[in-house]
Homo-oligomer: A and B are copies of this chain.
């Protein structure tokens, strides 16, 4: 006897629920009802709660999923892409995705009302971005003084901005162009500024 056949069903249900939940919460925000998720996944409400004992668990699973996907994309770019542009491509790609799909990128910043525990997956994502950053700096495409947390901060801020305020593709590009310019030449004109900052923030 192979693995119990029931389990196959359950697994299918689980991912169906996850997928529909992502869609529902993306459309209506985290306050959408679990009942609607169940309906759209074609299962009864009890089934949702069997798989995710709490709404919080469901949200957390979605976010974890999303982060994993984003991490994979970063890894792929790190493997195949031109080091000089991969970081910028990644930025652009994510922002476009956020704006277009109104995905759960939302949840990344956890204004859920619920506190989600996703530090693990976030760390992995950061590591992937770190790779992109380092290589870009090696090429001279990004100022060597730039640190990972600034990049992550700008990344999430622009994604959310694009998502929430519905930036047009044109606006996305113009905004990112400014950010990219900043990442490149922080050292030159912005030099004295950096010095000032160091003094202030000790």
Contacts and interface: CB of A to CB of B under 8 A. Distances in A.
Interface of A: 28-29, 31, 106, 109-111, 113, 146-147, 149-150, 153-154, 156-158, 160-161, 164-165, 167, 169-171, 173-175, 177-186, 188-190, 193-194, 197, 200-202
A113 B29 contact: yes
Contacts of A161: 109, 153-154, 156-157, 160
Given A180-B193, A182-B179, A174 B158 contact: no
B182 A181 contact: yes
Among A110, A164, A177, max chain B CB count under 10 A is at A177
Contacts of A171: 149-150, 153
Q: How many subunits of this chain does the assembly comprise?
A: 4
A114 to B, nearest CB: 10
A166 to B, nearest CB: 10
A161 to B, nearest CB: 3
